[in-house]
Structure 1
Amino acid sequence: MDTPPVQVLQADYRNPLHAAALVELLDHYAQDPMGGAEPLSTNARHHLVAELAKRPHAFSVLAFVDGQAAGLVNCFEGFSTFACQPLVNVHDVAVREDMRGRGISQLMLEKVEAIARERGCCKLTLEVLEGNAPAQAAYRKLGYGAYELDPTLGKALFWQKVLA
């Protein structure tokens, strides 16, 4: 049985099909234990795409299989002061549970890398949960690794402070 081809593209936030796919896939990810196991808020569902569109340094990559939304990567351009060049932070990587195991995340991340190279970026960054071994393995295949400047100082940690 042939596997249907995967279409990977940069999302157009003005395209209703892309906008709906983005919200659907992010909600799917949010409800997964690796995304926090809570659905997107009503506010996020209604305003996410418009808010992303307001940010010139935001972009998203979508994957479709037979016209069905299959995967999403949300990215934000930042800046490396040490390299004095832009960088891209991969913020969300999501593949529908029934579409996993087909290399969709790798195809989407290859598209992200191509966009980052077009923008003259010096690196890609992302965060991954310690317990998400499948994602870590996928990222390693593409050349990602833990961030450290000096092995004697250890690896960088990702911290947050929630602002109410």
Structure 2
Amino acid sequence: MRDYFVHTTSKGENIPHFLKGKSYVSITSCYKGALENGLAGVTDATFNQIDTVMSQAGMHRAGELVLTGTFRMEAVPEKKKQEAFHLGAKLAEKVERGGFTVKRYLQLFGMLAVSTLIVMGIQKGLQVLGWIPEQGFWINYVVFVVIFFLFLAGMLRLVTIHNHKRR
């Protein structure tokens, strides 16, 4: 369907077509249960492929829907029908892009400040326990970077699972 959504030049460049600026909802089914799909990301590859094509077409994702546990399912559960209805209603809303740059920078600053405070607290706790020395700039810097990376990786994973809601 890529050819339908995107024109490709003779140099292989993708050019959005008539759907540019429109919104879409990705829908897929999954034979696995909600917990396993959420943790293992069974449907991630499907959504990534859909998102790649649609973003090349200049479209914006309004949401995604996964119907999990479809093995031997005979009818769509009412809860999923309602979720699909609400996602469909979002398609009528205009997707705003850009703007609020100062607000976004302030939010980013706040998140970094809180994250740094948490990581410094963890680092101080490790120093009190005697696991790392209190003196030594470079050792403290390396420990801070490692803790910050682990903290950030964990937070990004949680946010990703929450935002995708592939359950």
TM range (shorter): under 0.3
Normalized per residue, which structure has more helix?
Answer: 2
State which structure, 1 or 2, has the greater radius of gyration over its C-alpha atoms: 2
TM-score relative to the length of structure 2: 0.25
Q: TM (normalized to structure 1)?
A: 0.25
Say which structure, 1 or 2, has more relative contact order (CA 8 Å, 6+ apart).
2
